[in-house]
Structure 1
Amino acid sequence: MAHRGPALAPLTLTDDERDQLQRWVRRRKTTQDLALRSRIVLECATGASNSEVARRLGISLPTVGKWRARFIDKRLDGLVDEPRPGRPATIGIDRVEQVIIDTLESTPANATHWSRASMAEKSGLSKSTVGRIWKAFGLKPHLEEGFKLSNDPFFTEKIYDIVGLYLNPPESAVVLCVDEKSQVQALQRSQPAFPMMPGTPERRAHDYVRHGTTSLFAALNVADGTVISQVHRKHRSVEFRKFLVKIDKTVPEGLDVHVICDNYATHKHPTIQTWLGKHPRFHMHFTPTYSSWINQVERVFAEVTRELLQRSDHRSVQALEKDLRDWVRAWNEDPKPFIWTKTAEDILDSIARSLQRINGAGH
């Protein structure tokens, strides 16, 4: 006889409970945790076993068992995260839900986003309670991230082109991500830094003297992570052509050169077009507008900023340029290629989901 597990306690829903669960599932701005827990309970109410519910929703069996038991024990209140040890909770799920809805779907009259104090005043709860609710549901009203969607009419074609170079590079060719980090400032701090000590971080003066700027031209080899670089005081088409000449001398003969760069006018100047016409092994691939994130050389610029420029102290442009050359030289002694994993379809699907969220927020 086959061994069976313990019989499951029946899970039945009242009409009000079913309506509330379905509302949480349908609401666009319900937190993902609460929506998933609601789906689990609704599936269990169909009479399905825990293993069947886990299979349908693509989650683990213990997760189904946990929220089934919590709902049977505490009903709708059981779908809210358990309180921490201490004074028993004194607010119900309705007030918790209202805080979440107000946080996601409204703003205070005199501010752009909620603070714990303003939400506490609106909800009648304490600031610490508001903070615990936000933490439990991953809400951080004080944080924001910037973005700008591309309006390039050939966005999809360019994404497929560039991602194809990353994931399936052509044979007998090198793929280079190229850009300029322009207007890098030589900054001299007004006072010497206080060195780090146990319990005390390094301290630097917030004001400085400017000694001029330079630009770092860089080409990242996506296969091995090495960087070809030059520094120039300006970043016109003249300097870009000089950089292409250096790339041409550096890359072994017999290899095609695929250059990924942005739509900056310098990169399309007639001077550059003339030079490219005389060097047919070079193939230009332009990123979509407002899409610098797809150019891997931006990762190199982030590293040089973090490791060198963020705390730099240079008394001349010459000193800054020497440090930039030294940094690239050290990088090439132990290069670290960046591994690209997203397919073009993954990127386009992600952008489509973002557009749905933006359009939904506008209603």
Structure 2
Amino acid sequence: MIEDAYRLGEAMGLPVWCADQAGPYQTIPHPGRSWRPEGEPARQPHEYIRNGTAKILTLFHPADGSVRVEGATSCPNAVLHGWLERELAAVLEATPIPTTGAAGPGASRPAWERWQEGLSVKPTLLAELPPLRMLLVLDNLAGHKTPEFVCWLFAHGVMPLYTPVGGSWLNMAESIQRVLKRRALDGQHPEDVGQIIAWFEAVARHWNESPTPFTWGGKRSERRRRRRERHRLGGSGACTRRPLRRDEIRDYGHGRAK
């Protein structure tokens, strides 16, 4: 369902956004590259003061690469949901309301139910639904399923799509978070959480000046698929396409296999 959203949602006139919260990030030296004069590498102390942690709230639009970021020192539902509702309302305000051919009560319900097909547990839709305007990919957390938050999404035309348990990698917000984290913290030693938050928000503003769209199932995915096809078993150039018995594996280790 989430892969369909990434591949088909925008073509159907439904912007696909992803939400996630990254962190916590500590006030410790972070390994990584940094821009330094030749022969003068960055040196980080081996001692540091634990001075709190920061969480980074992220709302990402893969189709154009734009990202909305805000830092917080804690992330309970009241903070996360309040921020998401403000940001989503701003996005929807700038998004035209879709026009549908059908009219009358229940005319928009099939568009909502299309994104519940095949689910074993389906969120209960409101009796009266507005036109569907957005698909929102979220992690499968209990806080994201509170009735107040889900009803707010439905009332504003947003369909939540939850990643399966153990499948948070389907949330493309994690991809942009890794990019922002490298640019903000690699090779740095923040001394307080305010620095962490300021660096992330500055990096996000710079990113949005010339964002890069993210495509689901792009060239990297195709390369990984071809690699798996070539090397069914075995991690080196020597591989086999049939399962090996334990005695064969042992003999390979001693160089006696034929």
Partner of 1:295: 171
Deviation by residue 1:52-96 (Cα, 9 ceiling, x = unmatched): xxxxxxxxxxxxxxxxxxxxxxxxxxxxxxxxxxxxxxxxxxxxx
**In 1, are the aligned partners of 2:56 and 2:72 still within 8 Å (CA)?**
yes
Change (3 A) 1:310 1:169: same
Matches within 5 A, 1:1-363: 161-170=1-10, 171-187=12-28, 196-199=36-39, 201-251=41-91, 252-253=94-95, 254=97, 256-279=133-156, 281-341=157-217, 360=243
- Kindly indicate which of the two structures has a greater share of residues assigned to helix: 1
Q: Distance in 1 between matches of 2:244 and 2:41?
A: 42
Change (3 A) 1:339 1:317: same
Q: Distance in 1 between matches of 2:244 and 2:173?
A: 34
Change (3 A) 1:195 1:174: closer
CA drift of 1:325 comes to: 1.4
Deviation by residue 1:182-207 (Cα, 9 ceiling, x = unmatched): 31223379xxxx98443453332233
Deviation by residue 1:88-120 (Cα, 9 ceiling, x = unmatched): xxxxxxxxxxxxxxxxxxxxxxxxxxxxxxxxx
Deviation by residue 1:284-327 (Cα, 9 ceiling, x = unmatched): 11112222222211111111221112223222222222222111
Q: Distance in 2 between matches of 1:271 and 1:182?
A: 25
Q: Distance in 1 between matches of 2:194 and 2:37?
A: 31
Q: How many residues align?
A: 194
CA drift of 1:276 comes to: 2.5
Q: Distance in 2 between matches of 1:226 and 1:362?
A: 51
Q: Distance in 1 between matches of 2:210 and 2:217?
A: 22
CA drift of 1:233 comes to: 2.1
Identical-pair percentage:
24
Deviation by residue 1:210-243 (Cα, 9 ceiling, x = unmatched): 2111211111111100002222222222122112
CA drift of 1:361 comes to: 7.0
* Secondary structure in 2 matching 1:177: strand
Q: Distance in 2 between matches of 1:217 and 1:360?
A: 45
Letter in 2 for 1:286: Y
Change (3 A) 1:297 1:195: closer
**In 1, are the aligned partners of 2:9 and 2:135 still within 8 Å (CA)?**
no
Unpaired runs of at least 5, structure 1? 1-160
Letter in 1 for 2:198: K
Deviation by residue 1:134-167 (Cα, 9 ceiling, x = unmatched): xxxxxxxxxxxxxxxxxxxxxxxxxxx1111222
* More contact order relative to length (CA 8 Å, sep ≥ 6): 2
Using structure 1 for the length normalisation, give the TM-score: 0.46
Using structure 2 for the length normalisation, give the TM-score: 0.63
* Secondary structure in 2 matching 1:187: coil
Unpaired runs of at least 5, structure 2? 99-132, 235-241, 247-258
Q: Distance in 2 between matches of 1:274 and 1:318?
A: 34
Letter in 1 for 2:140: N
Letter in 1 for 2:142: A
Q: Distance in 2 between matches of 1:216 and 1:362?
A: 48
